[in-house]
Amino acid sequence: MTEALVIGAGPAGLMAADVMSAAGLEVVIAEAKPSPARKFLMAGKSGLNLTKAEPFETFLAAYDEAAPHLRPMLEAFGPDEVTHWAEALGQEMFTGSSGRVFPKVMKASPLLRAWLARLEAQGVSLRRRWRWVGGGFRFDTPQGVEEIVPKVAVLACGGASWARLGSDGAWAELAGVPVAPFQPANMGFLVDWSPHMARFFGSPVKNVVLRAGDKAVRAEFVISQRGIEGGGVYAVSKPMREGQVLTLDLLPDLEVAEIRKRLSKPRGKASMANHLRKALRLDPVKQALLMEFARPLPDDPAPLIKALRLRHSGPRPMDEAISTAGGIPFSEVNQDLMLHRFPGVFAAGEMLDWEAPTGGYLLTACLATGHWAGGQAARFAGLEWQPVIRRHD
């Protein structure tokens, strides 16, 4: 009998295997793809944002309704612990001006190599091209169908975006528990642009406030051929997905009265575009957005400049989303992340029903739930494990 099984070699699964093997369990990781942590490596291509340095309660609030469930896991393995963990694997870390925390090399591959080497040294066995097919823990492997009967298991199969990297959501048919429907999260939105916007494809829109429902964020986003994307859009993608209108404050440092005052100056023969540029220093891409969604401009455009409604055609396809909402509800697991219906089987990472914006929150929660599930599984197997809960100010 195998002592411990982990299904999925992403951040949550690798962390669960790390904790269990360090506690003394013999661990097997089953990974459907030829290599581990493919989505983790893809995230590192644009700079591996592992976590975010900010007050703990501010950090926790990013998880919205999932925050009470995730609190103990993040108290045990939150932003500080993630940073120390990466440093222990030989990665020098730095914190950017926004509070985002990165390895100095900005890549995921050196961290992953060091992590896999540590797991190998701890006796972890990684089985590649082992796809879970159900029937308990049966796998389709290069050698045929294999079955494992573990003492404990951690499911860390990911969400349902980026199927080519391994997160295809197929496990939902195998888990034996109710699963909340998957939805895209941290995704772009489709916009049917008029031809005059073509010259702005690829352009960033900087220093704006995006509002959708009760969410507001001062950030930037990118105009693409198919619509809008980028950090600012991702931060409000949840209320947008739920039907809330997106508005843009194009000049967040000016009040309506000040905008009116500046526009009241005579413009002579200047075009409205030139008047906006000179009076308000409104850059070309913001002017283009204003003309796209508010033409013809009223005599008093100030309210529109402060709350420009951006019309879109809905989210980009789920497989293009950075992450997904949906998965195993917290009502299906206990406080240890063990499935009520299957004693000794735990769940971690994106396959749990939570979502968060980009900026370090996604990876931190994957690592934290993997750490928690792995530790609780080791304790279920009879080994000593106790989370270290640090005080977070």
As a three-state string, the secondary structure of 120-178 is HHCCCEEEECCEEEECCCEEEECCEEEECCCCEEEECCCCCCCHHHCCCCHHHHCCCCC
CA distance 210 to 216: 6
Q: What does the mean pLDDT of the chain come to?
A: 94
Contact criterion met (CB below 8 Å) for 16 and 373 = yes
* Alpha helix stretches (DSSP H) within the chain: 11-23, 38-43, 56-61, 67-76, 79-88, 109-121, 231-235, 237-241, 256-263, 272-280, 284-294, 302-306, 361-380
Question: How do residues 228-283 score in pLDDT, each as one tens digit?
Answer: 999 999 999 999 999 999 999 999 999 999 999 999 888 777 777 788 888 898 99
User: Which value, in Å, is the radius of gyration of the alpha carbons in the chain?
Assistant: 24
The pLDDT of residue 393 is 54
**pLDDT in the model for residue 390:** 65
The predicted structure's pLDDT at residue 185: 96
How many Cα atoms occupy the beta-carbon half-sphere of 222 within 13 Å?
12
First to last CA, the chain: 44
Tens digit of each residue's pLDDT (9 = 90 or more) over 31-79? 999 999 999 998 877 789 999 999 999 999 999 999 999 999 999 999 9
pLDDT of residue 251: 97
What tokens were used for 32? 């459907």
Burial of residue 128 (CB within 10 Å: 0-12, 13-18, 19+) is middle
Judge whether 149 and 130 are in contact, CB under 8 Å.
no
Of 93, 9, 12, nearest in space to 51 by CA? 93
Among 128, 169, 153, 143, smallest CA distance to 36 is for: 128
* Intervals of the chain under pLDDT 70: 1, 390-393
Residues sharing a CB contact under 8 Å with residue 268, sequence separation 6 or more, in sequence order: none
Instruction: Name the pTM for this structure.
Output: 0.93
- Where do the domains of the chain lie, and which CATH numbers do they carry? 4-184+320-380 (3.50.50.60), 189-309 (no CATH)
Structure tokens at 37: 């942590």
Q: What does the pLDDT read at residue 193?
A: 98
